[in-house]
Amino acid sequence: MYRPEVFIFDMDGLMFDTERISVPCWRAVGRKYGIEMEDSFFDKIFGMNNAKIKEMFLQTYGNDFPYDSFHDEKKAMQLAIYQEKGAPVEPGLEECLDFAKDMGIRCAVASSSAEDTVRLLLYKAGLASYFCHIQSGDTMAHSKPAPDIFLAVCQTLDVEPGRALVFEDSGNGLKAAAAAHIPSIWVPDLVHVEPEVAATAWHTCQTLADVPPLIQNLPVWKESVK
């Protein structure tokens, strides 16, 4: 591993503790529609964009499930919380971003959430200025675990995939990074990740605060900053 040129951050569960907000919203609206959503279902959909999540809903709850109205209600409930309070920042995020800024490493967001949601949470947290690019999964033909969203960031920022570093908490995100041939760091959160998927990560960090010393101690990093 050598000095990364770009840090690519997932958002939900990685930068912000949104999953502890979104899961109760999913379940509250689900009960109105007569469905009970299991933890294993969330493990499958986290990291996917809305089109892919809709596909999963229809496969699970039937092709006649009124997903669009269901999703609109859930999104409105969640956005009301974001607009009032934002979302809790995950431990170590600001330290990681400050490190990247000091070292001249560009930062991008590659999130399956809508771009307006990403920008809202970054603005509420005062972190928008750290990022040079936001890539939303809503604009991708293929959601994570396909590699498209990460490759789109690399193309926009004119960096080779192998010179980027992805930060992810979900199995779908780790699969997408592996498919894009981009090294990844797994930061475990709520989502259950199968061991064989977790093993595709270059490294596992308990929080983003572990990233700066990890990168600084890379032999090639030490050579590059002499």
Q: Find the radius of gyration of the CA atoms of the chain.
A: 17
Given 68, 85, 102, which residue is the final one in a domain?
A: 85
Q: What percent of the chain has pLDDT over 90?
A: 79
Model-level pTM?
0.88
Between 134 and 48, where is the model more confident? 134
Containing structural domain, residue 210: 6-17+89-224
CA distances for 95 relative to 78, 99, 143, 157, 178, angstroms? 27, 6, 29, 23, 26
Are 70 and 94 contained in the same domain? no
- The strand pairing partners of 204, in sequence order, are 186
| Among 64, 85, 106, residue at a domain's last position | 85
* 29-60 confidence digits (pLDDT tens): 999 999 999 888 988 888 788 888 999 999 99
Does one domain contain both 119 and 140?
Answer: yes
1, part of any domain: no
Distance CA 198, CA 102 (A): 29
Q: Which of 163, 217, 135, 187 is nearest to 19 (CA)?
A: 187
Question: Crossing angle of helices 67-85/115-125, nearest 10°?
Answer: 20
Do residue 110 and residue 66 come from a single domain?
no
Q: Are residues 195 and 213 in the same domain?
A: yes
Are 132 and 195 found together in one domain?
Answer: yes
56 part of a folded domain: yes
What's the full length of the chain, in residues? 226
CATH of residue 70's domain is 1.10.150
Question: So what's the pLDDT on residue 137?
Answer: 86
133 plus 143 within the same structural domain: yes
Among residues 12, 8, 13, 7, the alpha carbon closest in space to that of 117 is found at 12
CA distance 52 to 67: 12
Query: Which tokens in the block code for residue 78?
Result: 């969640």
Task: Give the model's pLDDT for residue 44.
Answer: 86
Q: Within a domain: residue 189?
A: yes
Cα 58 to Cα 27, 45, 54, 68, 146: the distances in Å are: 16, 12, 6, 11, 20
Give residue-wise pLDDT tens across range 178-211: 999 999 999 998 888 999 999 999 999 999 999 9
78 and 103 together in one domain: no
Confidence of residue 1 (pLDDT cuts 50, 70, 90): low
> Angle, to 10 degrees, between the axis of helix 50-61 and the axis of helix 67-85?
130
Per the structure, the count of domains in the chain is 2
DSSP string, 24-54: HHHHHHHHHTT----HHHHHHHTT--HHHHH
User: In the predicted model, what is the mean pLDDT of the chain?
Assistant: 92
Least confident range of 21-30, 44-53, 66-75, 213-222? 213-222
Whether 129 and 38 share a structural domain: no
CATH number at residue 189: 3.40.50.1000
Tell whether 217 is covered by a domain. Answer: yes
| Same structural domain, 93 and 35 | no
Both tokens assigned to 84: 């009032």
Q: Is the pLDDT of residue 226 over 60?
A: no
